[in-house]
Amino acid sequence: MFKRIAALFLALMLLIPCFSAAEETGEMTEDEITALLWEMYQTENGDAEFMVLPDEYEEPAVGKTGIFNLLLIGVDTSDSSLKGRSDTMLVASLNARTGEMRLLSFMRDTYVKIPGRGHNKLNAAYSYGGAKLLIKTLENNFGIHIDGYLAVNYTLMVELVDAIGGIEITVSEDEVPKLNGILEYYNYQRGVKKETGKLKKAGTHNLTGLQAMSYARIRKLDSDFVRVERQQKVILAIYRKICQTDLAALTNIVLTYIGRVGTDITLAKATDLVLTLMSFEEIHTDSLRIPHNGAYSSKVINETYFIVPKLAKCKDKIHTFLYEYPDY
């Protein structure tokens, strides 16, 4: 559901002058330098490390590898703050060389070692030390490098989905009553009629922000594992809808909501990612849940349920999923 925020940065390109093609000066452009760095980076002796670069050269957001890992954090709070536990932790990994995006979701009940805090559920890391500690926890336990993060709460997510005109999701027969039950609770909180916005039947619907959040939070129907898959579906639906949104409308959304998004991404990085995304006619996606099947056990520790990961297996799976592309 928070991929929508990542796509908000697409509109930032309207606020920044685009880099024009270099004149015929005999010097290499930044794109040419980066391409050369990439080729050298692939060699066994790592010649790229010894290349002398121009003083003004800035490596693009995707770096030499061509991959940018963006951590999307959904904070479990209904107020306007970004304080609380991270209910959703998902890495959107963009491969600028293949035009592929990999969605890597981490289970919130995963038992991990949190630096300076001992062992606990993964979603506790954010409440202890914000995005910085969560990133450090993910990197230490799973060996994944995070290049930047975006954090939003549920209130903002609802508003953003409504701002883009809703998202298209196929809701199953079993999911309808669960979605409606969660929605009824939110209606009660908002002081509106309990039937407001309820779905009458299964099928493909254009969900409002509140309906989309209710769908993503369905848990008792099956398990938290399937819940993560629903969150990924919402994220992809948001991404598809944004691709259909005109740039003027998207810019207006950015100006309205950007101040309420937590991020460490600079304007320069955002622009770089925008231009990279727009260079592809279509972005191919794939998704993975961590811990994956066969790489965890369920345990009750001190009367609390945990998903205990087999870290070595998880690390191998993550590396293969994010970095071992057929073209490489």
131-164, pLDDT tens digit by residue? 999 999 999 999 999 999 988 887 788 888 999 8
Residue 50 has pLDDT above 70, yes or no: no
pLDDT tens string 27-49:
555 555 555 555 555 454 455 55
Q: Is the pLDDT of residue 115 over 70?
A: yes
Q: How confident is the model at residue 97, as a pLDDT?
A: 76
pLDDT at 320 over 80: yes
In this predicted model, what pLDDT tens digit does every residue of 298-312 receive, in sequence order? 898 888 889 999 999
Q: Of 41-45, 192-196, 230-234, which one has max mean pLDDT?
A: 192-196
Neighbours of 141 (CB within 10 A): 22
pLDDT of res. 266: 76
Mean pLDDT of 51-68: 62
Tens-digit pLDDT profile for residues 155-171: 788 888 999 899 999 99
Predicted pLDDT at 47: 53
**What CATH class does 3-16+29-323 carry?**
alpha beta
The whole model's pTM is what? 0.73
Q: Is the predicted pLDDT of residue 275 greater than 70, yes or no?
A: no
- Using alpha carbons, list the distances in angstroms from residue 63 to 85, 142, 278, 286, 304: 31, 21, 18, 22, 41
